[in-house]
Amino acid sequence: MNDVASSDEDPPAPRRHNGPISRRLLAIARTVRSDEPSVGELFDGLESEGLGLTLLLLTIPALLPLPGPFGMVFGTLVAMVALQILFGAERLWLPEPLRRRPVPQRLLRKVIRAGLDWAGFAERGLREDRMAWLTGRRARMLLALPLLLMAVTIILPIPMGNVMPALALIAASIGFMACDGLAVLVSILIAIAAVVWTAVLLYTGAAAAEYAALLLARLAVHLRAMLESVGVDLGFAAGVTTAFAVAAGITALAFWIQALRHRRSRTPADPTQDPLERSRAIARRGRSLVAAASFATAAAAIFIATRFMLTGWI
C-alpha cells in the first residue's frame, strides 16, 4: 500500500493530483501500511476531513430524484453525521464493530484511484485555505444546522426534492475536505435555494395531490357505472381484480428476491470467458430482473387501486 501511487493498479501520479483532496487521498495510501487496514484506521488518517468525505459518500446516492428508501436511508445517515459535526466532533465516530472491519487492499486501491480521477475534475475551482474562517471547527458547528436541515429535506418523500439539498451537501463536503471556504459559502447559498424550492414543491404537490384524488374519484364512478351498464357484478369484478393483484404481488416478490440473490451471488469466473463480457452479461441480467420486478410491482399497484375503485373505497 505504501507504493499506491506507483503500482500498476494505482493511479499515476501526474500533473493533476496536486490539489487538497488529492493530497489527502494520497496521504491515506502512504500512511496505511497494513495488508487490510480497518475502517477506523482509514478515517483516523483523514482526521476532520473524514467528516467531509463521509458526507460526500452518503449524499451522492441521495441525488436520485426519487422519494422512497434512497432519500430516507441516506438522509438519515447524513443527519447522523451532521449531528456529530454540530456537537464539535473532530473525527467521525463509528461503532466499534464497524471500526474494526477490514477494508480489502484491492478495493482500497480502486476507491483511491476513482477518488483521484474525480478530485482532478472537482479541484479545478478549489483553493486551499481560501476564506478559512468558514472551514474551522466553530464554523463547521454552526454550519451543521443547515446541513441537518438539508438531511431532513432529503428524508421527506417529495418527488424531485432531493436534488438541491444533495447539491448543497456535496458543496459543503467538498469545502470541508479542501478547506475552501468559498465552496462552503456556495453550499449555504444552494441550501437557501433548496429551502425555497422545497416550499414550492410542497405547495404544488399538495395542490396536485388534491387534483389527483378528485380525478381518481371521478374515474372510479365512471368505471363502476360502465361495468354495471354491461351487466358485470361489481363484487365479482372486485374478486377477480384481487386475484390478479395477489398474483402480481407474488410475482414481483419473486423477481425482487431473484434480483437480490443475483446481486449478492459470487459465482467463480469462467477462465474461458472474457471477464468484460461476463461482467456485462451479469449486469444485463441484473437490470432485467429489476425491470421485471418493477413492472410486476406497478401492475400489482394498479390492480389494488382498481379493486378499491370497484368497492367504493375511492
pLDDT, tens digit, for every residue of 190-225? 999 988 888 887 778 777 777 777 887 888 888 888
- Structure confidence at residue 9 (pLDDT): 43
Residue by residue, pLDDT tens for the chain (314 residues) are: 444 444 444 444 444 556 667 777 776 666 555 566 777 777 766 666 677 777 877 787 777 655 556 678 788 888 888 888 888 877 777 777 877 777 766 767 776 776 676 666 666 777 777 887 877 778 888 888 888 888 888 887 777 778 888 888 888 888 887 788 888 888 889 999 988 888 887 778 777 777 777 887 888 888 888 888 877 788 888 888 889 989 998 998 988 888 888 776 655 555 565 667 777 777 788 888 888 888 989 888 888 888 888 876 65
- Structure confidence at residue 58 (pLDDT): 78
Q: Which residue has the cell 459543503?
A: 172
